[in-house]
Chains A and B, each alone.
Chain A
Amino acid sequence: MARVLTDAPSGTRLAPARAPKPSIGGRASGPAPSSRRGRRRGANEASGWQALLWLSPALLLIAAIVIYPAITLFSTSFSEYSITGIRKGDAGFANYAGFLSSPDLPKVVLNTGIWVVAVVAITILIGLALAQFLSKDFWGRRVVRWAVIVPWAAALVITSQLFRLLFDYYHGTINAVLLALHVIPKPIDFLGNPPLLMASMILVGVYVSLPFTAYLFVAGLSAIPTDVYEAARIDGASPWQIYTTITLPLLRPAMLIAVVLNMIYVFNSFPIIWIMNGSNPGFGNDTLITYMYKIAFKSAQHDVGVAAAAGVFNVIVILIAVIVYVRLTRTRAENPS
């Protein structure tokens, strides 16, 4: 962020466009401090195994909770399992073939696309507006800021269950209110009608993603120096011009983080879909994540091998999506049209 400060006053459009670099560089800069540490180690005569001892708790933890499960997932996906979970032998690529040829897969992939794109896009749009609001000084701002955190602090399972109760056909508050106001003649089947269910799930997805996103943007906004705005105002820029040519470009680092992290969170979101879609038959409303769980434990396949193949597929899908997004924003940042 410090570099933004020094770059920005130059006032050209190119400068803010280069702004994302620090954040990308921030991640890539990992090796730099370690090499510095390496030099200091040499001076201190601390031996390699001593360093390893210090690192070992972290390394062991990483091995135990990241690497070991990843290897297990991978080897599971190439094994044949009985319904009870007993490994019967090697499966080769049969699990992958079985998963990819499943007739429900296209619909599930489509659902996943709609779910991720809609939730992330709407969250970003509302998050930007909300961040503007939250970064202004007004009476009671502290209360509002706290209120925005609540959906984030509540457990997803509980939030989803609450929304399920709100949307319920017979006992739901929303239907009760609409009926009492004579807006609708009979209840709306929010949870049983596929398009309405998707819309309801997206609403909940946005609701729980907003706090994090809005606060990310609040932090991004507060890092923009006020003199840039002053200069723009002196030059006679309209508020909209200021927003689109100064605020938004300077928010790009925050935007990149918000989009990438939200994409991953939303893609991997399980409780909202699992609970809101809990009483529906079939796989017509599932995303890749809930579909994977159903393959493993709830569908007639009941096969952890195929589910593991689905898990590997999911990781690849989200990786590709993130890489494509980062590439797109980077090329746009490097060649502003």
Chain B
Amino acid sequence: MRKSIRRGATLALASVAAISLAACSTNGSSGSGGDSVKSIKVVIAEYSPDNTAKFWKAFAKTYEETTKVKLDLQIISWNDIDQQSSTMVQTNNLPDILNLNTYASYAADGLLYSGDEVLPKDTAEDIIPAFVNSGTYKGKFYGMPDLSSARALFYNKDLFSQAGIAKPPTTWDEFRDDAKKVTALGNGAVGYAQPLGPEEAQGELAMWLFNNGGTFKKDGKWTLDSPENVKTLEFMKGLSVTDGVTQNNPGSTNRTDGAFPLFEQGKAGMIVGFGPLQGALDKDFTGVNYGIAPMPSGNKADPQTYGVTDYLMAFKKKGNQDAVKQFYKLYYSPDQINTWIKAEGFLPVTQSGLKSFESEDKLKVYLDTLPNIHLTPTDDPEWDKVKLTIQQNIGLAVAPDGDPAKFLKDLQAQAEAGK
């Protein structure tokens, strides 16, 4: 009895120790002290379940072998990464490298290394200038791009020929007529799959905006409620409300679980797509006979392309500068970055990448436009909030009782108030 009590006491003591230890260890790598860190924490967003973990695990191994610094890898789904990264900052449990679709707010809060501090010179020069621009906040390069994608109009050739349409539309009027013809086929056919739910609505808006001569921000001023933009959003609303050529309730349709499946099942005539959709169509939905065309234009100008890039930003922490520099050096080496981008079906962000991707016919549509791509104003911290408002509220603006002009006016007011 005595013995078991004493053993129990030891157990109790041990668990006290375990709990307090666990509490301490949340400080993580920052506690390693000394001149330079022994490990870095790298937080990566999951682009696809198949490739992301595979590439980064191999990358971590190579990194550890060359630098003798441990790489703690954490892969987080896009759904959770906003919450997780915010919690890391809030609890002062910063990663060394964070992969996200925004960076400017972090730069504004003074948390990041700039390119001068952590990018090897030849690497910095290799990055395509358009992306350097979008990664530059107040004259310094903070948002190192990890990969990019560009959008284009995907169309279903079978539905087009059934509807008697010879070629993809080049103007918005043609676009609407073609969408009407496809919808008229009946049997569940949808002229245009329009995702304006909260997932990625800013992308859909950007694509149409840029092809009607509009922008989000011009010469340092927000232009969200410009007359072109109001006309564009009214056209987008009209597609569902007056013309009835979209799927049911576009404001409540997300991209990956709503609009893409319609196209992948051959139900949608047209959709704005990008590399990963193309990959899925070629691999899993081979029954869909599709073509890719530039976006139709609303103002008789040349088609414009909307591009997206995500970022790998580096957090300033004591003693990690060298390890972070080594990280970028390895990441931007052609056999790392290009392997990764090819596997995920995205587009390069470096000049050397452009050259190495040139031979891929599939990508020609995008690559030609890449250097002149339109990006969203990710270099303005206010954009991070504007984007969230678009995602949450544009679906209400394009509903039958929605008011596109008022939505854009409120958005403009919000952006300007942030200054």
Q: Does A302 contact B (CB under 8 A)?
A: yes
Q: Which of B20, B197, B393 contacts A279 (CB 8 A)?
A: B197
Q: Does B95 contact A (CB under 8 A)?
A: no
In the bound complex, residues from chain B placing their C-beta under 8 Å from that of A76 are 90
Nearest CB on B from A40, distance (A): 15
In whole angstroms, how far apart are the Cα atoms of A191 and B258 in the complex?
A: 12
Q: Which of B9, B251, B392, B394 contacts A298 (CB 8 A)?
A: B392
Whether A279 and B199, one on each chain, are in contact in the complex, defined by CB atoms closer than 8 angstroms, is yes
In the bound complex, residues from chain A placing their C-beta under 8 Å from that of B9 are 50, 53-54
Whether A84 and B86, one on each chain, are in contact in the complex, defined by CB atoms closer than 8 angstroms, is yes
Q: Which of B88, B199, B392 contacts A300 (CB 8 A)?
A: B392
Q: Does A64 contact B (CB under 8 A)?
A: yes
Instruction: Label chain A's interface by main secondary structure.
Output: loop
From residue 279 to 331 of chain A, which have CB atoms closer than 8 A to chain B?
279-284, 294, 296-302, 304
Q: Does A90 contact B (CB under 8 A)?
A: no
In the bound complex, residues from chain B placing their C-beta under 8 Å from that of A297 are 82-83, 86
Stretch of B57-65, B104-112, B124-132, B354-362 that contacts chain A: B104-112
* Given A86-B109, A169-B248: A302 and B197 interface contact (C-beta under 8 Å): no
Stretch of B69-77, B289-297, B379-387 that contacts chain A: B379-387
Whether B248 and A192, one on each chain, are in contact in the complex, defined by CB atoms closer than 8 angstroms, is yes
* Given A169-B249, A280-B197, A302-B385: A87 and B414 interface contact (C-beta under 8 Å): no
Whether B23 and A64, one on each chain, are in contact in the complex, defined by CB atoms closer than 8 angstroms, is yes
Closest A residue to B22 by beta carbon equals A64
Nearest CB on B from A193, distance (A): 8
Whether B111 and A84, one on each chain, are in contact in the complex, defined by CB atoms closer than 8 angstroms, is yes
In whole angstroms, how far apart are the Cα atoms of A82 and B381 in the complex?
A: 11
Q: Which of A84, A169, A171, A282 gathers the greatest number of chain B CB atoms within 10 Å?
A: A84
Closest B residue to A278 by beta carbon equals B254
In the bound complex, residues from chain A placing their C-beta under 8 Å from that of B201 are 281
* Given A54-B9, A192-B248: A84 and B109 interface contact (C-beta under 8 Å): yes
Q: Does A243 contact B (CB under 8 A)?
A: no
In whole angstroms, how far apart are the Cα atoms of A279 and B200 in the complex?
A: 11
Q: Does A81 contact B (CB under 8 A)?
A: yes
* Given A169-B249, A298-B82, A298-B392: A87 and B90 interface contact (C-beta under 8 Å): yes
Whether A53 and B248, one on each chain, are in contact in the complex, defined by CB atoms closer than 8 angstroms, is no
Whether B198 and A298, one on each chain, are in contact in the complex, defined by CB atoms closer than 8 angstroms, is yes
In whole angstroms, how far apart are the Cα atoms of A82 and B201 in the complex?
A: 24
In whole angstroms, how far apart are the Cα atoms of A64 and B105 in the complex?
A: 31
* Given A53-B13, A296-B83: A281 and B392 interface contact (C-beta under 8 Å): yes
Q: Which of B16, B251, B253 contacts A60 (CB 8 A)?
A: B16
Whether B392 and A85, one on each chain, are in contact in the complex, defined by CB atoms closer than 8 angstroms, is no
1/0 contact trace for B372-412 toward A, CB 8 Å?
A: 00000000010011101101111110000000000000000
Closest B residue to A197 by beta carbon equals B252
In whole angstroms, how far apart are the Cα atoms of A189 and B253 in the complex?
A: 11
In the bound complex, residues from chain A placing their C-beta under 8 Å from that of B88 are 85
In whole angstroms, how far apart are the Cα atoms of A104 and B238 in the complex?
A: 27
Q: Does A236 contact B (CB under 8 A)?
A: no
In whole angstroms, how far apart are the Cα atoms of A191 and B252 in the complex?
A: 9
Nearest CB on A from B5, distance (A): 9
Q: Does A83 contact B (CB under 8 A)?
A: yes
In the bound complex, residues from chain A placing their C-beta under 8 Å from that of B396 are 281-282, 284
Closest B residue to A164 by beta carbon equals B257
In whole angstroms, how far apart are the Cα atoms of A82 and B382 in the complex?
A: 12
Closest A residue to B79 by beta carbon equals A278
Nearest CB on B from A10, distance (A): 46
Whether A282 and B254, one on each chain, are in contact in the complex, defined by CB atoms closer than 8 angstroms, is no
In the bound complex, residues from chain B placing their C-beta under 8 Å from that of A82 are 105, 108-109
Q: Does A162 contact B (CB under 8 A)?
A: no
Whether A299 and B111, one on each chain, are in contact in the complex, defined by CB atoms closer than 8 angstroms, is no
Whether B86 and A280, one on each chain, are in contact in the complex, defined by CB atoms closer than 8 angstroms, is no
Q: Which of B88, B249, B391 gathers the greatest number of chain A CB atoms within 10 Å?
A: B249
From residue 12 to 52 of chain A, which have CB atoms closer than 8 A to chain B?
50
In whole angstroms, how far apart are the Cα atoms of A279 and B393 in the complex?
A: 12
Q: Does B341 contact A (CB under 8 A)?
A: no
1/0 contact trace for B3-19 toward A, CB 8 Å?
A: 00000110011011001
Whether A60 and B19, one on each chain, are in contact in the complex, defined by CB atoms closer than 8 angstroms, is yes
In the bound complex, residues from chain A placing their C-beta under 8 Å from that of B248 are 169-170, 187, 189, 192
In whole angstroms, how far apart are the Cα atoms of A299 and B201 in the complex?
A: 13
In whole angstroms, how far apart are the Cα atoms of A187 and B394 in the complex?
A: 24
In whole angstroms, how far apart are the Cα atoms of A56 and B82 in the complex?
A: 36
In whole angstroms, how far apart are the Cα atoms of A170 and B266 in the complex?
A: 13
* Given A282-B395, A297-B83, A298-B82: A60 and B20 interface contact (C-beta under 8 Å): yes
Q: Does B261 contact A (CB under 8 A)?
A: yes
Closest A residue to B103 by beta carbon equals A84
6 smallest CB-CB distances across A and B, nearest first, come from A281-B395, A85-B89, A85-B90, A192-B252, A300-B389, A85-B86
8 more A-B residue pairs beyond the given contacts A171-B261, A189-B252, A279-B198, with a C-beta to C-beta distance below 8 A: A54-B9, A83-B384, A170-B267, A279-B254, A280-B251, A281-B252, A281-B393, A300-B385
List 25 contacting pairs A-B, 8 Å CB cutoff, sorted by A.
A54-B9, A56-B12, A57-B12, A82-B109, A84-B86, A85-B88, A85-B89, A86-B90, A170-B261, A279-B199, A279-B254, A279-B258, A280-B251, A280-B252, A281-B197, A281-B198, A281-B201, A281-B392, A281-B395, A282-B392, A282-B396, A284-B396, A298-B391, A300-B386, A302-B86
B residues at A contact (CB < 8 Å): 8-9, 12-13, 15-16, 19-20, 23, 82-83, 85-90, 105-106, 108-109, 111, 188, 196-199, 201, 247-249, 251-254, 257-258, 261-262, 267, 381, 384-386, 388-389, 391-396, 414
